[in-house]
Amino acid sequence: AAEEGFDLEDVEGAIEEAGHGPLPVLAVVGRPNVGKSTLVNRMIGRREAVVEDKPGVTRDRVTYEAEWAGRRFKVVDTGGWEQDVLGIDASVAAQAEFAIEAADAVVFVVDATVGATDTDEAVVKLLRRAGKPVVLAANKVDGPSGEADAAMLWSLGLGEPFPVSALHGRGTGDLLDEVLKALPDAPAQTFGATVGGPRRIALIGRPNVGKSSLLNKVAGEERVVVDATAGTTRDPVDELIELGGTTWKFVDTAGIRKRVHLQEGADYYASLRTAAAVEKAEVAVVLIDTSESISVQDQRIITMAVEAGRALVIAYNKWDSLDEERRYYLEREIETEMQQVSWAPRVNVSARTGRHMEKLVPAIETALAGWETRVPTGRLNAFLGELVSAHPHPIRGGKQPRILFGTQAGTKPPRFVLFASGFLEHGYRRFVERRLREEFGFEGTPIHISVRVRE
Residue 297 in contact with ligand GDP, rule: CB under 6 A: no
Pairing of strands 283-289, 311-317: parallel
Task: Check the annotation: does 139 bind a ligand.
Answer: yes
Task: Check the annotation: does 320 bind a ligand.
Answer: yes
- C-alpha dihedral sign at 330, 334, 335, 336: positive
Least distance from ligand GDP to the Cβ atom of residue 143, Å: 10
Task: Check the annotation: does 77 bind a ligand.
Answer: yes
Task: Check the annotation: does 399 bind a ligand.
Answer: no
Least distance from ligand GDP to the Cβ atom of residue 54, Å: 11
Residue 292 in contact with ligand GDP, rule: CB under 6 A: no
378: buried, middle or exposed (CB in 10 Å: 19+, 13-18, 0-12)? exposed
Residues 170-209 that bind ligand GDP (CB under 6 A): 205, 207-209
Least distance from ligand GDP to the Cβ atom of residue 271, Å: 15
Cα separations in angstroms, 355 against 277, 288, 349, 429: 26, 15, 5, 39
Contacts for 46 with CB less than 8 Å, ≥ 6 apart: none
The helix or strand, by DSSP H or E, that contains position 417, with its residue range, turns out to be: strand 415-420
Task: Check the annotation: does 10 bind a ligand.
Answer: no
Residue 146 in contact with ligand GDP, rule: CB under 6 A: no
Q: Could you tell me which stretch among 139-147, 171-179, 218-226, 413-421 binds ligand GDP (CB under 6 A)?
A: 139-147
Least distance from ligand GDP to the Cβ atom of residue 352, Å: 4
Task: Check the annotation: does 190 bind a ligand.
Answer: no
Least distance from ligand GDP to the Cβ atom of residue 142, Å: 5
Task: Check the annotation: does 88 bind a ligand.
Answer: no
Least distance from ligand GDP to the Cβ atom of residue 105, Å: 18
Cα separations in angstroms, 62 against 53, 161, 224: 12, 25, 32
Least distance from ligand GDP to the Cβ atom of residue 274, Å: 11
Residue 147 in contact with ligand GDP, rule: CB under 6 A: no
Q: Cα(452)–Cα(455) distance, rounded to whole angstroms?
A: 9
Task: Check the annotation: does 141 bind a ligand.
Answer: yes
Instruction: Write the single-letter amino acid at 213.
Output: S
x/- track of binding to ligand GDP for residues 349-378 (CB under 6 A): -xxx--------------------------
CB half-sphere exposure, 84, CA atoms < 13 A:
3
Considering only CA atoms, which of 154, 153, 89, 151 is closest in space to residue 123?
Answer: 89
- Residue 393, number of CB atoms within 10 A of its CB: 22
CB 136 within 8 A of CB 110: yes
Phi–psi pair at 45, nearest 5 degrees: 70, 30
The DSSP code for 236 is T
Considering only CA atoms, which of 25, 39, 78 is closest in space to residue 309?
Answer: 25
Pairing of strands 239-243, 63-68: unpaired
Contacts for 307 with CB less than 8 Å, ≥ 6 apart: none
Residue 163 in contact with ligand GDP, rule: CB under 6 A: no
Residue 55 in contact with ligand GDP, rule: CB under 6 A: no
Closer residue to ligand GDP, CB minimum distance, 111 or 443: 111
Least distance from ligand GDP to the Cβ atom of residue 200, Å: 19
Considering only CA atoms, which of 62, 41, 78, 272 is closest in space to residue 165?
Answer: 41
Please identify which residue in 79, 198, 345, 444 interacts with ligand GDP, judged by CB under 6 A.
Answer: 79
Q: Kindly state the greatest CA–CA separation across the chain.
A: 72
- Residue 135, number of CB atoms within 10 A of its CB: 25
Number of chain positions touching ligand GDP (CB under 6 A): 32
Task: Check the annotation: does 450 bind a ligand.
Answer: no
Closer residue to ligand GDP, CB minimum distance, 143 or 197: 143
Closer residue to ligand GDP, CB minimum distance, 171 or 410: 171
Please identify which residue in 213, 295, 297, 421 interacts with ligand GDP, judged by CB under 6 A.
Answer: 213
Residues 384-443 that bind ligand GDP (CB under 6 A): none
Angle subtended by helix axes 426-440 and 377-390, to nearest 10: 130
Please identify which residue in 124, 219, 256, 380 interacts with ligand GDP, judged by CB under 6 A.
Answer: 256
Residues 13-52 that bind ligand GDP (CB under 6 A): 30, 32-38, 51
Closer residue to ligand GDP, CB minimum distance, 142 or 439: 142
Please identify which residue in 210, 231, 265, 345 interacts with ligand GDP, judged by CB under 6 A.
Answer: 210
- Residue 86, number of CB atoms within 10 A of its CB: 18
Least distance from ligand GDP to the Cβ atom of residue 183, Å: 21
Phi–psi pair at 412, nearest 5 degrees: 55, 55
Task: Check the annotation: does 371 bind a ligand.
Answer: no
Please identify which residue in 58, 117, 212, 297 interacts with ligand GDP, judged by CB under 6 A.
Answer: 212
Q: Cα(329)–Cα(316) distance, rounded to whole angstroms?
A: 14
- Residue 363: helix, strand or coil by DSSP? helix
Phi–psi pair at 74, nearest 5 degrees: -105, 145
Note the residues at the interface with ligand GDP (CB under 6 A): 30, 32-38, 51, 79, 139-140, 142, 165-167, 205, 207-213, 256, 317-318, 320-321, 350-352
Binding residues are: 30-37, 77-81, 139-142, 205-212, 252-256, 317-320
Binding residues for GTP are: 30-37, 77-81, 139-142, 205-212, 252-256, 317-320
